[in-house]
Structure 1
Amino acid sequence: MRMRPTLNWVPDGDLPPGTSDWGPVADVLGRGNALVLSGAGISTESGIPDYRGEGGSLSRHTPMTYQEFVSDPQARRRYWARSHLGWRVFGRARPNAGHRAVAAFQRQGLVPGVITQNVDGLHQAAGSENVVELHGSLDRVVCLSCGAVEARGDLAVRLTEANEGFAPVAAGINPDGDADLTDDQVGDFRPVPCTVCGGVLKPDVVFFGEAVPPQRVEQCREAVRAADSLLVLGSSLTVMSGLRFVRQAAEAGKPVLIVNRDPTRGDRLALARVSLPLGEVLTGVADRLGVPVPH
Structure 2
Amino acid sequence: MGEAGCDVRDIEEAANILVNARHAIAFTGAGISTESGIPDFRGPQGLWKQYSPEIATIDYFLQHPKEFWLFYRMRMSTLFTAKPNRAHRALAELESMGVIKAVITQNVDGLHQAAGSKNVIELHGTMRRAVCIACGRAYPMDVVTRKIDSGQVPPLCDECGGVLKPDTVLFGEPVKDFDRARELAMISDAVLVVGSSLTVYPAAYIPLFVKEMGGKVIIINMEPTELDYIADVNIRCKAGDAMEKLLEKIIEMRKQGTTVTQ
TM-score normalized by structure 2? 0.88
Q: Does 1:136 align with 2:125?
A: yes
Residue 202 of structure 1 aligns to a residue whose secondary structure is: strand
- Where do 5+ consecutive residues of structure 2 fail to align? 1-5, 253-262
Higher RCO, 1 vs 2 (CA within 8 Å, ≥6 residues apart): 1
Q: Does 1:55 align with 2:17?
A: no
| Contact kept? 2:60, 2:68, Cα under 8 Å | no
Q: Does 1:111 align with 2:100?
A: yes
Q: What is the alpha-carbon root mean square deviation over aligned residues? A: 1.5
| Contact kept? 2:38, 2:78, Cα under 8 Å | no
Q: Does 1:93 align with 2:85?
A: no
User: Distance between the aligned counterparts of 2:207 and 2:246, measured in 1?
Assistant: 22
* Stretches (4+) displaced over 4 A: none
User: Distance between the aligned counterparts of 1:86 and 1:240, measured in 2?
Assistant: 23
Out of 233, 239, 244, the residue aligned to residue 278 of structure 1 is 239
User: Distance between the aligned counterparts of 1:194 and 1:31, measured in 2?
Assistant: 50
User: Distance between the aligned counterparts of 1:160 and 1:225, measured in 2?
Assistant: 45
TM-score normalized by structure 1? 0.79
Specify the code of the residue in structure 2 equivalent to 1:220.
A
Aligned partner of 1:172 in structure 2 is none
| Contact kept? 1:36, 1:111, Cα under 8 Å | yes
Out of 60, 70, 73, the residue aligned to residue 68 of structure 1 is 60
Q: How does 1:182-201 map to 2 (within 5 A)?
A: 190-201=153-164
Aligned partner of 1:184 in structure 2 is none
Specify the code of the residue in structure 1 equivalent to 2:218.
L
Shift, 1:242, TM fit = 2.1
Residue 137 of structure 1 aligns to a residue whose secondary structure is: strand
Aligned partner of 1:209 in structure 2 is 172
In terms of fraction of residues, the more helix-rich structure is: 2
Residue 192 of structure 2 aligns to a residue whose secondary structure is: strand
| Percent of residue pairs bearing the same amino acid type | 38
Q: Does 1:230 align with 2:219?
A: no
| Contact kept? 2:189, 2:213, Cα under 8 Å | no
Aligned partner of 1:35 in structure 2 is 25
| Contact kept? 2:11, 2:249, Cα under 8 Å | no
| Contact kept? 2:130, 2:141, Cα under 8 Å | yes
Specify the code of the residue in structure 1 equivalent to 2:167.
D
Q: Does 1:219 align with 2:171?
A: no
| Contact kept? 2:132, 2:138, Cα under 8 Å | yes
| Contact kept? 1:28, 1:34, Cα under 8 Å | no
Residue 290 of structure 1 aligns to a residue whose secondary structure is: helix
Residue 50 of structure 1 aligns to a residue whose secondary structure is: coil
Which has the higher mean CA deviation after the structures are superposed, 36-45 or 270-279?
A: 270-279
- Where do 5+ consecutive residues of structure 1 fail to align? 1-18, 164-189
1:120-141 CA-to-partner distances (Å, cap 9, x unmatched) read 0000000001100000000100
Aligned partner of 1:257 in structure 2 is 218
User: Distance between the aligned counterparts of 2:183 and 2:69, measured in 1?
Assistant: 35
Specify the code of the residue in structure 1 equivalent to 2:212.
E
User: Distance between the aligned counterparts of 1:88 and 1:271, measured in 2?
Assistant: 38
Out of 35, 38, 60, the residue aligned to residue 45 of structure 1 is 35
Residue 262 of structure 1 aligns to a residue whose secondary structure is: coil
Specify the code of the residue in structure 1 equivalent to 2:60.
E
